[in-house]
Amino acid sequence: LPEVRVQPLVTIEEMMDRLAKRVQNALTLSFKEFAGQTREKIEIIVSFLALLELLKQGAVVAEQYDRYGDIRIRHNASTSVPRYT
């Protein structure tokens, strides 16, 4: 019989933890830098969903200056209200 290997899945919660830690350590981070660590589409999608959830919670601030440009992520010092620019 052929042998099949199943790749472990990354949860949104795990990706949120990774992203939050990277942003806290780097103070500012490019989404391309963060998501560029993997070539798997599913992990890039989960990374983006994690970013959206962290934005919703107000843990990070994201800025995108050009249409289709890179997203710059930084730690939000005041975690009270999400800010979108």
pLDDT digits (tens, 9 = 90+) for 4-22: 877 778 899 999 999 999 9
Pairing of strands 72-75, 28-30: antiparallel
Q: Residue 30's pLDDT is what? A: 93
Residue 78 has pLDDT above 70, yes or no: no
What's the whole-model pTM score? Answer: 0.77
Residues in the chain: 85
Q: Residue 77's pLDDT is what? A: 75
Q: What sign for the dihedral angle of Cα 43, 48, 49, 54? A: positive
Q: Tell me the pLDDT tens digit for each residue of 19-64.
A: 999 998 888 899 998 888 777 888 889 999 999 999 999 999 999 9
Q: Residue 81's pLDDT is what? A: 53
